[in-house]
């Protein structure tokens, strides 16, 4: 299924392709979404209870512009200077740009902070309050803030799920000159993401987003891939997709990874068996999960 195949789909089929809960293994529909929200929220609460953290750190003036930072066990100071330097795993939540928050985004902290990795959960203003251009800008500004404020960071490793993978991919095509800093992004883990927003215009998802064609075009990672310069080539990109993601989600992951590779990026595609759109990311709370091991190996290479 090549890019543009979605144009031949009937409206009902297109809606189904972009409804991840219809493809979930354990539960379907709203029950799958509720179970996912409960899982990541409970995991975040456990992380907050068992990890030293700084919550609701402002990186801007807007309500949603806040970070949660989970620190490794080693002693550190406010700028991560004494116990660092630490690699930082920066997580951008999904929710189709209109639900979830950083308060359900710390669930991956326990297996990572125990291995010396700081975890940062990024908040942003979701729709309908936030619009697509603003969300992309906020996430970029959060990375610039981290680079400027925390001298103890030893490499940033981005991770985003679903809509969060889209936002993370938009970070990769940022022109950092206007931000006055170039974050040291050494890796990106893009999980079950969306990289071409045009199909979304024709689904229920756009009811809250209210994107125009122009907004979708300029915020589609597939359309703004930059030719890899040395710094970009040194950034390792992992595009992960679930066996039980829909064919359209799987197609988008495959085509985006191919496009990055063609532009000279260091990229690999990981097709994870047995999982669906939801537990592919929920399992980041587990020490033995293959994706956690892949992330740790990426950080070790960095």
Q: Is the confidence at residue 183, as pLDDT, over 80?
A: yes
Q: Is the confidence at residue 142, as pLDDT, over 70?
A: yes
Non-local (6+) Cβ contacts of 42 within 8 A are: 107
How close are the terminal C-alpha atoms of the chain, in Å? 34
Check: CB of residue 124 under 8 Å from CB of residue 157. no
37-43 long-range contacts, Cβ below 8 Å, gap at least 24? 37/99, 37/100, 37/104, 39/107, 39/278, 39/279, 39/282, 40/93, 40/100, 40/104, 40/105, 40/107, 40/281, 40/282, 41/103, 41/104, 42/107, 43/106, 43/107, 43/108, 43/282, 43/285
Q: How confident is the model at residue 26 (pLDDT cuts 50, 70, 90)?
A: confident
Q: Is the confidence at residue 221, as pLDDT, over 60?
A: yes
Q: Among residues 111, 114, 85, 157, which one has the least CA distance to residue 301?
A: 157
Burial of 195 (0-12, 13-18, 19+ CB in 10 A): buried
Q: How confident is the model at residue 152 (pLDDT cuts 50, 70, 90)?
A: confident
Q: Among residues 85, 243, 66, 57, which one has the least CA distance to residue 154?
A: 85
Q: Among residues 16, 7, 4, which one has the least CA distance to residue 222?
A: 4
Tens digit of pLDDT for each residue in 247-274?
Answer: 999 999 999 999 999 999 999 999 999 9
Tens digit of pLDDT for each residue in 229-244?
Answer: 765 568 999 999 999 9
User: Residue 25: what pLDDT?
Assistant: 87
The domain locations on the chain are 5-301
User: pTM here?
Assistant: 0.94
Rounded mean pLDDT, 154-182: 96
Q: How confident is the model at residue 226 (pLDDT cuts 50, 70, 90)?
A: confident
Q: Does domain 5-301 have CATH number 3.40.50.1820?
A: yes
Q: Which residues are catalytic?
A: 162, 245, 277
Q: Which of 4-8, 21-25, 51-55, 66-70 has the lowest mean pLDDT?
A: 4-8
Please tell me the total number of residues recorded for the chain in this structure.
Answer: 302
Pairing of β 66-70 and β 53-58: antiparallel
Pairing of β 66-70 and β 118-122: antiparallel
Rounded mean pLDDT, 154-183: 96
**Which has the higher per-residue pLDDT, 51 or 226?**
51
Check: CB of residue 108 under 8 Å from CB of residue 282. no
User: Residue 84: what pLDDT?
Assistant: 60
Q: Is the confidence at residue 150, as pLDDT, over 80?
A: yes
Q: Which residue has the tokens 């090549």?
A: 2
C-alpha gyration radius of the chain:
18
């Amino acid at each position: 299924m090549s890019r543009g195949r979605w144009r031949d789909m009937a409206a009902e089929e297109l809606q189904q392709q972009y409804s991840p809960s219809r493809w979930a293994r354990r539960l379907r529909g709203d029950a799958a979404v509720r179970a996912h929200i409960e899982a990541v929220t409970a995991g975040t609460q456990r992380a907050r209870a068992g990890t030293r953290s700084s919550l609701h750190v402002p990186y801007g003036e807007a309500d949603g512009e806040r970070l949660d930072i989970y620190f490794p066990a080693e002693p550190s100071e406010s700028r991560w200077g004494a116990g660092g330097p630490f690699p930082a795993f920066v997580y951008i939540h999904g929710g189709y740009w209109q639900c979830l928050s950083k308060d359900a985004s710390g669930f991956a902290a326990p297996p990572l902070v125990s291995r010396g990795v700081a975890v940062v959960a990024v908040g942003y203003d979701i729709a309908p309050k936030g619009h697509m251009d603003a969300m992309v800008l906020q996430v970029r500004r959060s990375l610039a803030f981290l680079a400027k404020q925390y001298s103890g960071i030893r490499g940033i490793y981005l991770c985003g799920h679903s809509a969060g993978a889209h936002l993370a991919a938009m970070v990769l095509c940022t022109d950092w000159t206007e931000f006055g800093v170039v974050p040291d992004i050494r890796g990106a883990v893009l999980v079950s993401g969306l990289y071409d927003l045009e199909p979304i215009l024709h689904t229920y998802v756009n009811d809250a987003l209210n994107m125009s064609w122009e907004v979708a075009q300029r915020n589609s990672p597939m359309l703004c891939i930059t030719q890899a310069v040395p710094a970009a080539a040194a950034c390792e990109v992992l595009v992960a997709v679930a066996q039980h993601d829909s064919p359209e989600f799987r197609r988008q992951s495959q085509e985006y990874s191919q496009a990055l590779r063609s532009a000279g990026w260091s990229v690999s595609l990981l097709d994870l068996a047995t999982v669906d759109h939801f537990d592919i990311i929920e399992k980041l709370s587990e020490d033995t999960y293959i994706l956690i091991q892949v992330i740790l190996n990426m950080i070790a290479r960095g």
